[in-house]
């Protein structure tokens, strides 16, 4: 039986709120995979009371005990203690709780291919302040924990798919982190995922240049001619349908969107603003290139509404659906 583990992320945010609200909807029973929340019962119970949601909580001692989802019942497994259950206010002492839950989810999915991991939003700075100084984000953490050579962060919606050549690093470090053979691996992973996970037979990948006007033949920058286009050339020799570097300022017009299956951006904020303008709250964050199935939401912790009002549930629902589809 397929199973999903949900790691709610930052306890002060809406990750926990989202799963509580979803458990009251018909969608909850439409999920065929058995979903288990990784959480401290104190957090579940206190937040449900604050939100005035009547929910029954069933503690599991092992993942194998999970049953089919039933409306109004949340199955959970406790891995760690949440020291501060308050909504809306960050507390660095909760960093270990977040990381222990995430690690448990990764470990379980590594052990069993029929288990997928869905993650809620985290607050990177709070985790760093809580003692995890090298923490960069879910994608990088999962890469290290699964001992994966190359991973790709992909955000996908019905309107657009965007993959990233570099993720959570300062903009000043992007040029030196763009390397020809690394780009080759990223493009290969993206192409394979589009074919296998999204059932696109011959996907067209559009690669964005790093510099304005894609370097304009070296007049505005040389990364396109020295790194990006040579990588594309190698991928074309492998039969991958991928473009040479195009200017990001015109890559997202209506005609380009219609013909493109996925974009490869050189840095985090080069293409994600476009995706979020088109699909915010309805997109899914997917980690490619690892031996596990992991999806996540496209939004942050939304501390300002946690414990106060119902968050938008579109992204977490899409993340659950996509994780379930990808399970073998």
Residue 276 DSSP label: H
Q: What's the domain range around 275?
A: 150-283
Is there a single domain that holds both residue 8 and residue 128?
A: yes
Same domain, 197 and 305: no
Question: Which bin fits 247, alpha (ψ -120 to 50), beta or left (φ > 0)?
Answer: beta
Q: Can you tell me the distance from the alpha carbon of 136 to that of 308, in angstroms, rounded to the nearest whole number? A: 29
Question: Are 88 and 121 in a shared domain?
Answer: yes
**Is there a single domain that holds both residue 29 and residue 19?**
yes
Question: What is the structure's pLDDT at 199?
Answer: 92
CATH, residue 169? 3.40.718.10
Domain shared by 318 and 276, yes or no = no
Using an 8 Å Cβ cutoff, are 281 and 314 in contact?
Answer: yes
pLDDT of residue 45: 98
Measure the N-to-C terminal CA separation of the chain; round to a whole number of Å: 10
Let me know whether 134 and 248 are in one domain: no
Rg of the chain, C-alpha, whole Å: 20
Question: Tell me, what's the pLDDT at 265?
Answer: 98
In terms of Cβ atoms closer than 10 Å to its own Cβ (0-12, 13-18, 19+), residue 255 is exposed
What is the model's pLDDT at position 281?
A: 87
275 and 208 fall within a common domain: yes
Phi/psi at 162 (5° precision): -130, 125
What is the pTM (predicted TM-score) of this model? 0.92
Q: Are 192 and 251 part of one and the same domain?
A: yes
Q: Map residue 44 onto helix, strand or coil.
A: helix
Residues 6+ apart with CB under 8 A from 208: 214, 245, 246, 247, 248, 251, 263, 264, 265, 266, 270, 271
**Are residues 304 and 248 part of one domain?**
no
Quickly list H helices, the chain.
Answer: 15-22, 27-30, 41-50, 95-111, 124-129, 138-145, 174-177, 180-196, 223, 229-237, 254-259, 268-279, 314-326
Q: What is the pLDDT along the chain (328 residues), one digit of tens a residue?
A: 899 999 999 999 999 999 999 999 999 999 999 999 999 999 999 999 999 999 999 999 999 999 999 999 999 999 999 999 999 999 999 999 999 999 999 999 999 999 999 999 999 999 999 999 999 999 999 999 999 999 999 999 999 999 999 998 999 999 999 999 999 999 999 999 999 989 999 999 999 999 999 888 889 999 999 999 999 999 999 999 999 999 999 999 999 999 999 999 999 999 999 999 999 889 999 999 999 999 999 999 999 999 999 999 999 999 999 999 988 7
* 4 and 106 fall within a common domain: yes
Domain count, the chain: 2
Note whether 279 and 294 are same-domain residues. Answer: no
Same domain for 307 and 268: no
């Amino acid at each position: 039986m397929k199973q999903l583990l949900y790691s709610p992320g930052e306890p002060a945010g809406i990750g926990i709120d989202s799963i509580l609200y979803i458990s009251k909807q018909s969608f909850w029973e439409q999920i065929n995979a058995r979903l288990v929340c990784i959480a401290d019962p104190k957090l579940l119970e206190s937040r449900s009371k604050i939100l005035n949601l009547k929910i029954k909580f069933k503690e599991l001692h092992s993942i194998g005990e999970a049953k089919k989802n039933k409306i109004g019942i949340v199955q959970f497994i406790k891995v760690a203690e949440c020291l501060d259950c308050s909504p809306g206010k960050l507390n660095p002492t909760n960093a270990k709780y977040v990381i222990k839950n995430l690690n448990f989810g990764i470990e379980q999915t590594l052990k069993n291919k029929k288990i997928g991991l869905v993650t809620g939003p985290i607050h990177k700075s709070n985790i760093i302040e809580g003692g995890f100084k090298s923490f960069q984000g879910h994608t990088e953490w999962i890469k290290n924990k699964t001992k994966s050579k190359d991973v790709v962060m992909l955000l996908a919606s019905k309107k657009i798919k965007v993959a990233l050549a570099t993720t959570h690093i300062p903009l000043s470090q992007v040029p030196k982190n763009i390397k020809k053979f690394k780009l080759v691996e990223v493009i290969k992973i993206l192409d394979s995922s589009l074919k296998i996970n999204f059932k696109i037979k011959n996907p067209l990948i559009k690669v964005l240049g790093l510099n304005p006007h894609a370097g304009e033949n070296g007049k505005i920058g040389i990364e396109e001619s020295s790194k990006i286009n040579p990588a594309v050339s190698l991928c074309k020799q492998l039969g991958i349908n991928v473009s040479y570097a195009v200017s990001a300022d015109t890559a997202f017009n209506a005609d380009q969107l219609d013909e493109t299956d996925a974009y490869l951006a050189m840095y985090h904020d080069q293409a994600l603003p476009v995706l979020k303008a088109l699909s915010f709250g309805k997109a899914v964050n997917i980690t490619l290139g690892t031996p596990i199935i992991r999806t996540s939401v496209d939004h942050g912790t939304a501390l300002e509404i946690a414990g106060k009002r119902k968050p938008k549930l579109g992204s977490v629902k899409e993340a659950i659906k996509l994780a379930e589809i990808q399970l073998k």
